Amino acid sequence: MKERTKFILIALVFIAVYYMPFGTQNVRNGIMEAFFMLQEYAREHVLACLIPAFFIAGAIACFVSQAAVLKYFGAQAKKILSYSVASVSGSILAVCSCTVLPLFAGIYTRGAGIGPATAFLYAGPAINVLAIILTARVLGWQLGLARAIGAVVFAIATGLLMALIYRKDDRARVTGDMVLPDQEEKTRPLWKETTYMLVMILILIFAAWAKPKEPVGFWMAVHRIHWPIAVGLIILLGVIVRSWFSRDEVVMWGESTWGFAKQILPLLFAGVLVAGFLLGRPGHEAFIPGRYIQSLLGGNSLGANLFASVAGALMYFATLTEVPILQGLIGSGMGQGPALALLLAGPALSLPNMLVIRSVIGTQKTLVFVTLVVFMSTIAGLIFGALMG
């Protein structure tokens, strides 16, 4: 960081602290909510979601060959294959907008094209089968179906548009302008590496298994035993690593995992603090009063849908939390169109994940990606609201 940039940051922090009206209730609420949200995130998401995701990202960076990534995600790969794989790869993980970040960073730094990589980035938190089922059950099958269709279409459309806009950058990555690591000779059969990756993905799925609202059914039955399953899978992973990997490979995996954690966690925690200060947790007032947000979301106007998309893009939604939040908002008069707009923009984006995405693909690409998601969410909300009206 340049000295001038450091000085500007210090000056801005000083001015903000100097003039901040700490005596007002909104500011005090915002400060408390910032740290409550950070604590909630640390307790509920870091151990169960982020740490397994970091290990997966480290494994991708170390053991997934360049050729394998480029075959399915590279800029020259067949679009039907690459975007299908990107969507399926995201949907099976059922992660939130922040947990998907180390996985996205892993495949992009290994040479994935910007299109398939951003399709995966959107699909991971948005095409969540459990969340879609819960949406249909709590908010109505129409909204659940619209969310499912919109999420699949958005993942592919966003990826294709990003690939079109940045086709020259992808071409440069393919033609050798980007320095890539040499290919290493395989020391293990494919089935062993596939098993190793699958076990880690299953650890992430079961460790982060959310408690359903209804205390009966398959999802609740799995939730009761999700930690024993996760622990059993961790033990299996330990046996696999000890039996199939050399000491040097394990060290390399650990260093790669720590590299992703160092890059992502500081920005992530800073973003959670800012989002908590401005918007707070569900059901808690922060700096921006909830009544102001709700008053802007009624009906099906362009402004209501756009505001829902932007607000959803800035807020952080842990997996499945968007459903009870929307249930309350709809009960307070939120329109069906803005509800869908928030569902399509919210789980896929958040202020914390924007900061991390910027560190991976740069400011311009991040702004374009966010703008595409917000724009398409707004249009989808207008169409759905008109059909439901």
pLDDT at position 379 over 50: yes
pLDDT tens digits, 307-352: 999 988 888 776 566 776 777 677 667 889 999 999 999 878 888 8
Burial class (CB in 10 A: 0-12, 13-18, 19+), 104: buried
pTM: 0.63
**What is the per-residue burial (b if ≥16 Cβ within 10 Å, else e) of 231-243?**
eebeeebeeeeee
Round to whole Å and give the CA distance between 37 and 34. 5
pLDDT at position 260 over 70: yes
H or E stretch covering 344: helix 336-345
CA dihedral 322, 327, 330, 336 (to 10 degrees): 60
Round to whole Å and give the CA distance between 264 and 119. 20
pLDDT tens digits, 274-296: 878 877 776 677 887 777 777 77
Mean predicted confidence (pLDDT) in 168-183:
57
